[in-house]
A and B are shown apart, each in its own frame.
Chain A
């Protein structure tokens, strides 16, 4: 029997695991994870990984598990979240469940296959048997909870040598019927040898309801492959969002991640990658923007497990109002990972006296022939630049917005998908008034 932390979830869990159409191996995976969650419980601030983020706002709510299809979202309501792009391969999930009528996956190019997880269990068991292999939950309560309740999500498989011409977009949208609900989207992205693809995950909302999204995405990047993986967290302003990405990289692969976090009352994004093959590289970039009472937390982890790998990390944060930002960037360099080349920066711009940020680079290096640097800054709007702009007739508010945009521009320009970059530039310019 699971521990006490699991109690509020027991009823929903029993219902989920009594479904006879789900293969037994999936049910047993769920059970093991639920057991583990019960033992772990929600993390407290005594847990080093959660030192600056209290999840009690999440734990203090009761949630209804959104198992059945729900909601009523039209294509026009999705328009603000699709970057004005046409022709992308899109899978839409409404309140956690796949919505084929909103999705565009009829004309996938050769070498690209996608499924919704709920039907993939029986349709392609040999593909989804990778689920749970990449994202472990021994010490990850939210991943354990996700694994216990995993029901739907995107499964993306790119065959070897395939260069996908357009982004694959997984859109998780909530509407008002998600109020008081919880969703545990589970995605799997498998990129074959020497393939090249771009996958975008968007978490968006047409409502300001309170709900919990607890997502996990497992990523495998094959030998010599390149994956651009963007995550856009634009949840409802009152929502809770925990999202974990765990990638594993083969030799000579390149994993490029960008994480935007601008929504939710409380959010935590984990981006973890393991450089598990020689000559591979990881680029982890991100931008977080918060105001009001928002709390926005990022934890990244790069494990250099093999020699001759590089990692580049640039996160920027803009915090206004009474918001609180957290950045914790971990880099582990294993004893055998000689010639590791790592660079991490985290820059924060505080727009108000009451906003604050905790930034904690964390390098643990056990090899001797490595080059690893890190740097973190916390600053305010440059008064000299502000005066320069005003002296040209530019109103104070616009001048501040321009300088905020300018601060973020350095990381936004790393985004290679034009539609996404332009949308984020516009968003940054308009985010703070």
Chain B
């Protein structure tokens, strides 16, 4: 069974239609890359899947793990294993990263009827997660993302992902702002978290990330629709020919898989 099935999804923001009929199906164990020009709606799709109330869904359906995803508030989506690594992680002055991570972890555990962990247990648990993204423990004592460098914010997103162990991770341009080493670390993190029962959607502009996180499918989002889908070689072709090649003349592909 597919993990998520998006059908004819339409969404608006400030009364402007951004998503104009998205079809996309992702099975467990797969990695899908979503590429496309600036402003084509990639982040909108990601935010809509995470449940951002700033976006209004005006049509279509999303079935996730057999459930009507669009009917769930964002916190329940997260508790059911959806995770969005934000293109622009949000700064929350006054809330420590450690407190935030533990609160999130405990909320998800609680939703699954599991015991909450105390700060000491959590500190042990964090040690290995920090190592995974090569982050210093001192980052935990700082306010969430406040004053973090661009790359530190992105690592912090992956750290949260490592803590929450999602079933469907959506990474929105997680590579932007990362140096080569960090890129490898983040990609390693994602690869290590990969399991047969989870899936990843990687929104990216750069083929270079896909050298590290190898996708099973590549989709090109243009003007609110998926204009073309293919295998990992599609990314190389795009790198070579640019998005014009997709928008001008090439047949519009149906959703993958």
- Please determine whether A390 and B73 come into contact, CB atoms closer than 8 angstroms: yes
- Please determine whether A391 and B95 come into contact, CB atoms closer than 8 angstroms: no
- Please determine whether B107 and A393 come into contact, CB atoms closer than 8 angstroms: yes
- B161 and chain A: residue at smallest CB distance: A392
- Please determine whether B93 and A393 come into contact, CB atoms closer than 8 angstroms: no
- Please determine whether A406 and B94 come into contact, CB atoms closer than 8 angstroms: yes
Contact with B along A378-392 (1 / 0, CB 8 A): 000001110111111
Residues of B within 8 Å of A410, CB to CB, are 93-94
Residues of A within 8 Å of B93, CB to CB, are 406, 409-410
- A393 and chain B: residue at smallest CB distance: B78
- Please determine whether A391 and B94 come into contact, CB atoms closer than 8 angstroms: no
Residues of A within 8 Å of B75, CB to CB, are 390-391, 393-396, 399
Instruction: Say yes or no: is A405 at the interface (Cβ < 8 Å to chain B).
Output: yes
Docked CA distance A403–B91 (Å): 11
Instruction: Say yes or no: is B26 at the interface (Cβ < 8 Å to chain A).
Output: no
Docked CA distance A262–B200 (Å): 47
Residues of B within 8 Å of A406, CB to CB, are 92-95, 143
- Please determine whether A402 and B95 come into contact, CB atoms closer than 8 angstroms: yes
State whether A390 and B74 are in contact (beta carbons under 8 Å apart), knowing that A383-B54, A395-B107 are contacts in the complex.
yes
Instruction: Say yes or no: is B90 at the interface (Cβ < 8 Å to chain A).
Output: yes
- Please determine whether B111 and A392 come into contact, CB atoms closer than 8 angstroms: no
Residues of B within 8 Å of A392, CB to CB, are 78, 100, 104, 107, 160, 164
CB proximity to B under 8 Å, residues A366-388:
383-385, 387-388
- Please determine whether B164 and A393 come into contact, CB atoms closer than 8 angstroms: yes
Docked CA distance A157–B93 (Å): 40
Instruction: Say yes or no: is A10 at the interface (Cβ < 8 Å to chain B).
Output: no
Docked CA distance A403–B95 (Å): 8
Name the distance in Å between B89's Cβ and chain A's nearest Cβ. Answer: 8
- A410 and chain B: residue at smallest CB distance: B94
Residues of A within 8 Å of B53, CB to CB, are 383, 387
- Please determine whether B107 and A391 come into contact, CB atoms closer than 8 angstroms: no
Name the distance in Å between A403's Cβ and chain B's nearest Cβ. Answer: 7
Residues of A within 8 Å of B74, CB to CB, are 387, 390-391
Instruction: Say yes or no: is A407 at the interface (Cβ < 8 Å to chain B).
Output: yes
Instruction: Say yes or no: is A365 at the interface (Cβ < 8 Å to chain B).
Output: no
Instruction: Say yes or no: is B132 at the interface (Cβ < 8 Å to chain A).
Output: no
Docked CA distance A387–B52 (Å): 6
Docked CA distance A403–B92 (Å): 8
Instruction: Say yes or no: is B199 at the interface (Cβ < 8 Å to chain A).
Output: no
The total of chain B residues at the interface (CB under 8 A) is 30
Docked CA distance A317–B74 (Å): 29
Residues of B within 8 Å of A179, CB to CB, are none
- A413 and chain B: residue at smallest CB distance: B94
Docked CA distance A390–B79 (Å): 10
Name the distance in Å between B94's Cβ and chain A's nearest Cβ. Answer: 3
State whether A388 and B94 are in contact (beta carbons under 8 Å apart), knowing that A394-B75, A395-B75, A396-B73 are contacts in the complex.
no
Instruction: Say yes or no: is B103 at the interface (Cβ < 8 Å to chain A).
Output: yes
Interface class of chain A by DSSP:
helix
Docked CA distance A393–B79 (Å): 5
State whether A405 and B73 are in contact (beta carbons under 8 Å apart), knowing that A384-B90, A391-B78, A392-B104 are contacts in the complex.
no
- Please determine whether B111 and A388 come into contact, CB atoms closer than 8 angstroms: no
Docked CA distance A393–B89 (Å): 16
Instruction: Say yes or no: is B108 at the interface (Cβ < 8 Å to chain A).
Output: yes
Docked CA distance A67–B58 (Å): 69
CB proximity to B under 8 Å, residues A394-433:
394-396, 398-399, 402-403, 405-410
Docked CA distance A214–B86 (Å): 52
Name the distance in Å between A262's Cβ and chain B's nearest Cβ. Answer: 18
Query: Most chain-A Cβ atoms within 10 A of its Cβ — which of B53, B73, B93, B94?
Result: B94
Residues of B within 8 Å of A383, CB to CB, are 53-54
Residues of A within 8 Å of B104, CB to CB, are 389, 392-394
Name the distance in Å between A355's Cβ and chain B's nearest Cβ. Answer: 20
- A394 and chain B: residue at smallest CB distance: B107
Docked CA distance A405–B52 (Å): 23
Name the distance in Å between A204's Cβ and chain B's nearest Cβ. Answer: 26
Contact with B along A347-369 (1 / 0, CB 8 A): 00000000000000000000000
Instruction: Say yes or no: is B50 at the interface (Cβ < 8 Å to chain A).
Output: yes
- Please determine whether A398 and B92 come into contact, CB atoms closer than 8 angstroms: no
Instruction: Say yes or no: is B33 at the interface (Cβ < 8 Å to chain A).
Output: no
Instruction: Say yes or no: is B183 at the interface (Cβ < 8 Å to chain A).
Output: no
Name the distance in Å between A381's Cβ and chain B's nearest Cβ. Answer: 11
Docked CA distance A152–B209 (Å): 74
State whether A398 and B90 are in contact (beta carbons under 8 Å apart), knowing that A390-B78, A392-B78 are contacts in the complex.
no
State whether A388 and B103 are in contact (beta carbons under 8 Å apart), knowing that A395-B75, A396-B73 are contacts in the complex.
no
Residues of A within 8 Å of B111, CB to CB, are 393
Name the distance in Å between A274's Cβ and chain B's nearest Cβ. Answer: 33
Residues of B within 8 Å of A399, CB to CB, are 75
Contact with A along B49-77 (1 / 0, CB 8 A): 01111100000000000000000011101
State whether A409 and B78 are in contact (beta carbons under 8 Å apart), knowing that A392-B160, A393-B108 are contacts in the complex.
no
Residues of B within 8 Å of A391, CB to CB, are 50-52, 74-75, 77-78, 83-84, 86
CB proximity to B under 8 Å, residues A20-38:
none
- B93 and chain A: residue at smallest CB distance: A406
Name the distance in Å between B9's Cβ and chain A's nearest Cβ. Answer: 18
- Please determine whether B107 and A398 come into contact, CB atoms closer than 8 angstroms: yes
- Please determine whether A388 and B78 come into contact, CB atoms closer than 8 angstroms: no
- B80 and chain A: residue at smallest CB distance: A393
Besides A391-B83, A392-B104, 7 other A-B contacts (C-beta < 8 A): A383-B53, A390-B51, A391-B52, A392-B107, A394-B78, A403-B92, A410-B94
Q: Can you identify 25 A-B contacts, CB atoms within 8 angstroms? A: A383-B54, A387-B51, A387-B52, A388-B86, A388-B90, A389-B104, A390-B51, A391-B84, A392-B78, A392-B104, A392-B164, A393-B78, A393-B79, A393-B104, A393-B164, A394-B104, A395-B75, A395-B107, A396-B73, A399-B75, A402-B92, A402-B100, A402-B103, A405-B94, A406-B93
Which residues on B are within 8 Å of A, measured CB to CB?
A: 50-54, 73-75, 77-79, 83-84, 86, 89-90, 92-95, 99-100, 103-104, 107-108, 111, 143, 160, 164
A-B pairs with lowest CB-CB distance, top 5: A406-B94, A409-B94, A393-B78, A392-B104, A388-B90
